[in-house]
Amino acid sequence: MKRVVIGMSGGVDSSVSAILLKQQGYEVVGLFMRNWDTSVNGDILGNPNLDHNICPQEQDYNDALAVCNKIGIPLHRVDFVKEYWDNVFEYFLSELKEGRTPNPDVMCNKYIKFDYFIREAQKLGADYIATGHYARIQDGQLLRAIDSNKDQTYFLSQLSKKQLENVLFPIGDLEKKEVRKIAEEYDLVTASKKDSTGICFIGERNFKNFLKNYLPNQPGKVINIETNEVVGEHIGLMYYTIGQRRGLDIGGTDSRMFVVGKNLEKNILYIALGEDNEYLYSDSCIIDTINFNTSERPTQCSAKFRYRAPDYPVTLEYINDHQILVKYDRIKAVTPGQACVFYDGEKCLGGGIIKTVCKNNEKLWYIL
C-alpha cells in the first residue's frame, strides 16, 4: 500500500482530500504545519479585539486533529516558523519597502509547502504528498482545477517540475459545493468552516494594525498626477496598491480616485480620476524570478496578472535567463510584485514576478 502524507490545514479542502485518498486505497498520514508564532510574531498581545484563549492557528490544529481522529488517520505536527520567517515573511516586508505589492502565498508554496513539507513527508516514508489545493496534475503537467472559480494554479506557478513529482491534488476534479457535501456526509467539524481569506499569516486580522508592528507608518502627500495638485495625505505607501479605489479616504471624490503610482524617494502617492484613466494602463511588463514547470518556452500564450483576473493573450520576449518582456494589449492595473502566470489552455506553464511596468516601450516611472 502506497503512503500519502497530506498537509492538513484544519480546513474543509484538506479534510475532504484526506477522505478521498483513503477511499482510493492509500495509507494516509496527516501533517500539520505551524508556520507562524502569534505569541511572538503576531499582533494578539495587547489587542482587546482578539480572543486570547486560543489563536486561530491552534484552532486550525484542533480542527485538523478532530478530522483525522474522525476518519482514522494519524496526525503529525511540524514547526516551520523560522523557515517561514526567513523565506516568506522577510520577502514580503522587503517587497513592501520597495513599493511593490507582493503575493506571499506564492512563495509559501514554493519554499514551505512544496519544499520543507516534502522533506518532512519523506522522513515519514511518503510515496506521495498531497494538499487540498484546487489544481490537477496529468502526466506530470500542472493543470487548472475543474472549478474555475476556485482554481489555485496561480499560487502554484513558482513550483518546479521536480517539486510537482509525486504530488496529488485529490479535489482538483471537484466543484467546491461537492467538497462541502462530502464533508457534511462525514459530519466533519470543518464542513461549514469558512474558507481562509487574506494573506496567509495575517488571516482575518486588520492588515494595517498588523503591519505597523514591522514597518513604521510614514504619512505623506497624495497628488493628482494629472494636475500636480495635493489632494490629501496617505498613511504609508505600503498600504496601497496600483488600481486601488477603496479606502483612500480623500475628500468627497473618493469613488472616482484610483492609485496609479508611488514615489518612494519623495514619499508621494499618485492618484488619477476615472476608472478608465490612461494612467492605469500599460502594454508590457518585465518579469523576473522566472520559473517554468515544463520544457516549453512559449513565445505566444495567455497570462494572468492577478488571482481571479481574466487571462490575456501575451507575447514573450526572452531578455536573458532571468528576465522576460511580456507584451500585451492595453491592460489595467498590472502591478509590480504580483505574479504573472503563463497558461496554454488548461496547462499552467509557470511564470514570474512583475518587476517593471511599461507603456510604449518606456518604463512607467510613476509605477514602481
Look-up of cell digits 515573511: 89
SS (H, E, C) 223-252: EECCCCEEEEEECCHHHCCCCCCCCCCCCC
How far apart are the two ends of the chain, measured CA to CA in Å? Answer: 53
The stretches of the chain forming alpha helices (DSSP H) are: 12-23, 56-71, 81-84, 90-97, 104-108, 117-123, 176-185, 207-211
The stretches of 130-280 forming alpha helices (DSSP H) are: 176-185, 207-211
Look-up of cell digits 487574506: 198
CA–CA dist 186, 172 (Å, integer): 20
Residues 6 or more apart from 62 whose CB is under 8 A from it?
Answer: 10, 54
Instruction: Show which residues are catalytic.
Output: 108, 200
